[in-house]
Amino acid sequence: MNLVDKVKSKIRDVKDFPKPGIVFKDVTPLLSDPKLCIEITSALADHWQDAQVDAVVGIESRGFLFGMLLAQSMSVPFVPVRKQGKLPWKTVEFSYALEYGEATIEMHTDSIDPNWNVLVHDDLLATGGTAAAAAQLVNKLSASVAGFSFLVELEFLNGKEQLDPHAKDVKSLIYY
C-alpha cells in the first residue's frame, strides 16, 4: 500500500463535529503508528529539502503534531502559533475574519529572525484563513514565507485561494 493510501486508511471521519453538517478529518489515529509518522514526516520534509527553510511555524493545535516532527527532520527551529492569550512572552498578533466573527493568533516576537525563510505548517488546510494569518505574522517579523505545508487539504473549500498572495509553494500530502 502506498503512503497516501496508508494515511487515508487511518484518518477517521467524525460526522457533525464540531457542529452539525461538518465532517471532521481526525488525524489522531495516525499517532498510534510511529513508523507511519516517520514516513509522513519524511514525505513532508522531502518536498522542502531545497527551499532553504530556516524555521517551521506550526499552527495551534493540529499543526503542532507534524510541524514539530517536520522541524526536527529539517534540523530547524519549531515556532508555535497560538490563539490569543496563550503565549507567556511578548507577542506579535494578527486578527482575521472567520465565517462567524473574528480570531486572533500570536507568536513570540523573538521566535524568528528577520530575513528568515519560514515554512508554515498545519495538519489540515480548509478555508486557508488561519494559514494566511500565520503568514502575516511571519511578515510582521520581517521574515518571508518559504511556503505552506499541510498533511491534509480539503480541496472543495478552496483554501489555496487565501494563500495566493503569500505562497511561493503549497504542498499537501493528502487531498479530499
Helices (H), the chain: 3-10, 34-48, 62-74, 129-140, 160-163
Alpha-carbon distance 85 to 114, whole Å? 24
- Determine the pLDDT at residue 168: 76
Q: Could you tell me which of 63, 12, 75, 69 has the C-alpha nearest to residue 41?
A: 69
Quick: pLDDT tens for 72-109: 999 999 999 999 999 999 999 999 987 777 999 999 99
- Determine the pLDDT at residue 4: 97
Q: Could you tell me which of 61, 2, 56, 68 has the C-alpha nearest to residue 26?
A: 61
φ/ψ (deg, to 5) at 129? -60, -45
Quick: pLDDT tens for 9-60: 999 999 999 899 999 999 999 999 999 999 999 999 999 999 999 999 999 9
Q: Label residue 160 by pLDDT band (50, 70, 90).
A: very high
Please say whether the beta carbons of 41 and 87 come within 8 A. Answer: no
Alpha-carbon distance 32 to 72, whole Å? 19
Quick: pLDDT tens for 119-159: 999 999 999 999 999 999 999 999 999 999 999 999 999 99
Contacts of 82 (CB under 8 A, 6+ apart): 60, 105, 106, 107
Contacts of 87 (CB under 8 A, 6+ apart): 80, 106, 107, 108
**Which residues have a catalytic role annotated?**
62, 99
- Determine the pLDDT at residue 53: 97
Contacts of 35 (CB under 8 A, 6+ apart): none
pLDDT at 63 over 80: yes
- Determine the pLDDT at residue 29: 97
pLDDT at 164 over 80: no
Q: What is the 3-state secondary structure (H, E, C) of 80-108?
A: EEEECCCCCCCEEEEEEEECCEEEEEEEE
